[in-house]
Structures are given as structure tokens and as C-alpha cells.
Chains A and B, each alone.
Chain A
Amino acid sequence: MLSSAPAPDRRIVRLSLLIAMGVALHVVESMFVLPLPVPGARLGLANIVTVLALYLYGVRDGLLVAVSRVFLGSLIGGVFLSPAFFLALGGSLCSTLTMGLFMRWKWFSVVGVCLAGAAAHNCGQLLAARVLLKNSAVIYYLPLLLVAALPTGLFTGFAMQSLLKKLRSAGITLK
């Protein structure tokens, strides 16, 4: 049914599905706290949805999915306008823009894009924390967060790799 719909409708349906999935992952993810000495380190499951939107429709829709996901996810999680919300927002904006940039460079595969996104997410989070707390001491989390970005970025990267392969063989055009 979806494949017979006109392209603009299909886009709206797909984006809404992506946002819905992103919200679900965002909420589920915020229940699992990684055993790291860093607050806010996450697996980046919700980021997979943003990457998918980026590969399907480009940077603008990627941003749309990421920001909607953060707004709705934190509303459902009950942290709207709390520090956690601003951390997630800063991280998502940074990572989506960075991934949009890295997608254009042909010498990175989707794994590299996700890695860059994970690193940028953690840097953006740190930047948001810096602004929120008005305390430059949060910069001491930077090395830890960068190290944490490696496994999470690789994880989402390889997940995306197999997902994109499946989508391509199903005949869906990707950027």
C-alpha cells in the first residue's frame, strides 16, 4: 500500500513512522543507563532513526526527525525543559548536522558517519552542559565521552550498514 502512494505522501508517512520509532527508542534508551562514570552516555539507539532519515531524505528531514524525537521523547519521559532535555537537544543537533556533513564525503562509509555522529553528539551534549551549568569543569568529561563515542558509534554504524544493505536490495533509493 505504501509503495503505491505518491512520493510526498510516502515521505510524510515514513517520517512519522521514523519519529514514532525514534521516540520509542529514546524513551526505552533513557531507562538504561550505561555503567560508565559519565552522566548521559547512551548507546545511541535513537540515533539510528535519525541516520535512516538522513539517508532517506537528507539533512533537513534528518533534523526534523531528530528534533521532533527529542521534544516528544522528553515529553513522554517527563524531562521536558529539564537539563536532560537540553543535553539531548544539543547532542542531537550537533550529531545530525555533523552526520549530514560527513555523508557528503565519499571516503566515509555509513560506519564513519555514525562514528562522527556519536562523537559530535557527545561534544554537543558537553557544550549544552557547559552552557547550562555555567561551569567550565564539565570539559573534563570530554576524553571519557570521546572514548565512549567509539563503541556506540561503531555499534550504530554496523547496525545501519546491514539496514541500508537490506533497504537497497528492497529497491529503496538512498542518498
Chain B
Amino acid sequence: MSLFEKAAITGIGETAHGRGLQQGSALSLQMQASLAAIADAGLSPRDIDGVIPVATGVAVAEDFITNFGIPDLRFSATTPMGGASCVAAIQAAAAAVATGICRHVLLPIGRTGYSGTRIGARVHEMPQFRTIGEFELPLGNVAPAQIYAPMARRHMELYGTTSRQLAEIAVTTRRHAILNGNAGMTKPLTIEDHQNSRMIADPFRLFDCSLESDGGAAVVVSSAEAARDLRQPRVLVMGAAEGHPDSPSVITQRPDILRIGLAKAAPRAFAMAGVTPSDIQVAEIYDCFTYVVLRQLEEIGFCKPGEGGAFVEGGALGIGGRLPVNTHGGLLSQAHLAGMNHIVELVRQLRGQGGAAQVEGATLGLVTGYGDMGDGSIAIMRRG
């Protein structure tokens, strides 16, 4: 059996984004976003019978039973893949509702990455970073910017990809954040601003790197049947997949350090969905770093390996461009909510609720996740 159109995203919710706007703990931000998503779907919190808390260590399934008074939670799981977790959870939730285990699965996240412990500084506390922690952290390979930079450097050396091409991604994403109206970064950014920003881990400059944010976001995944009776237009999950790179825990030992988990996941998701990359009208691409967007565009098949730099030039990723990407401002300029905000935005776009950032006529799009040194996840959706 296939998960094709067995599940739908029925509710979306998020907190205000922007430094100093949020009040409360990571747990309360998560609850606030979850209640918003459940209300958006037209459900009661007691209707939630499945939950996949993103494995940030903030909330467990029990917290939702306790806070919402859920009488009979039938399904709980985690998909601990860092930034690939949220989109990977769509596949897990779709499997649960498709098989009748439950009907409405909540996918919540909340974090205080700005005011609390910085994410970039504590990755080595996670078990999936154990190998790097022992063998590379003592050498100075401390944070994700440093861990990923050699992939970007090799791409540049092999294919001639430039820092100005990476800047195109940051600049376009910032423009979208400003259109969004609910974003952490609100000042226009130019390619020159990017080129003048301080070097973090060569080739990554400050504006190649994503934000550290306080906030929350959540979505509800329901069975496609149950979704018919709910408040919002249905957004059906046509295809979903996760993929893990070879040598998943350490990039240094990966046979091809450019190859990421999405290379395995994307063909599966497209086959399930019965569409091709040329059918995609809007794409929310996980953007912890600009280069990671560029490389995922290649792995999905929007262009050939090595051609990502040319593909993103000339505002191609802008609204009205060849492939509108990260129409909400992404992790680079809206907020770092591990990509849950990417799912929220894709659903908003496909419902036609994108506001000033709406891609005209968009009814079919995709969202990706990327994390833990290259795990990948993807979901292809359509309004229907």
C-alpha cells in the first residue's frame, strides 16, 4: 500500500516571530502554536489522538495529554533527525492515519534558541553527534557552520559555485520575510550586504547562516477522509519520504561528501506522488545555510548536480521567479523552528492564504527537511 493521498494537513499554527516578542518557556510556545493549529482545523484539543513531538527534548507526548486533557492518545512517536524531523514526521503521521491507528496527529515544536541555550553551541550533547564529538570536536569542528562548510567549499572548487550565488538565496529569502509580516528579520538585504558580512566558517558568512529563534509552530495531520469535514481547504499529502546519507553520523567519512539523504528520499516521494519536479509551483526548502538550499535543489532534480549556483541566479527563487522558494522567509530570515514553519507556509500557499507572498495559482508544492549532518525528508502536497 502507498501513502498517496491518505493524509492531509488540516491545521496550521505559529506564534509571533521576532526577538523579544515571545513570552514564556519553550513548552508554552509549543502549546500556544499547537492550540492555534488545532483551532485552525476546527478541531477540539481533545480530538488529537496522535502526537509526534519534535525531539528537541522540550516536550513529550505526555505533556499534550496533560495540557489538553486528551482522553485516549493512540499514537506517539519521535523522528529524531534534527532539521529533517518535522517533515519526516509527516511520513510517520501519514502512516498512522492511513492504517487507522488514529485520525488527527499533532506535530508541534517550540524552542527558545535565542534567549535560551544556542542550538549551534550544544549539538554535541545529542547522541547522533557522538562520533563527531569524540573525533572532530577536539580538533575545532564545533558547530554546524563548521561541520557543513567543507561540503560547500568542495562544491565551489568542483563546480565554480560562488559566494555571490549563495548570497542570492539569502537576499531572496529576506525579501520574502519582509512580505510575510511575521518574521524575525525585517530589514532589506542586498548581495553587497551579504558579501560584507563577517566570515563565520569559510565559505559561510553571517548571512549564509540561519537565525537562532524563540517561537513555536505546529501542524495537524489528519486522515484524508476525516479532513473532508474540517474547516479549511484540504491539503493532501501526495508523497512523503525520509532518507539517510551514507556515513550519516560523520560527513568526513562519507564516500561522496556532497551526497545527502534527500538524494534517496526525493525519488521515492515523487514516485509516490506521481509528479515530477517540473510540476512543483512552490517549494519550501530547509535553509539552515544557503548552500544547503542550493544542494537540495540539485538533489531534488530542479537542476543537475553542480548547476545549483547558476539555477539560483537572477532572482529565480523569488515570487514570480522560475521556482518560488521559502516564501515565508525560512530559517534564514523568518525564524529557526526546525522547518515546522516551512510546512506551515506550504499549506498556507496551497490554500491560497499566502497574503502578500502568495504564489499566484499555486496548488501543488513541496517541503523538505535537512538535519543531523545530512538526513533528508520531503513531502509533496496539493490542494484537493
Bind each other = no
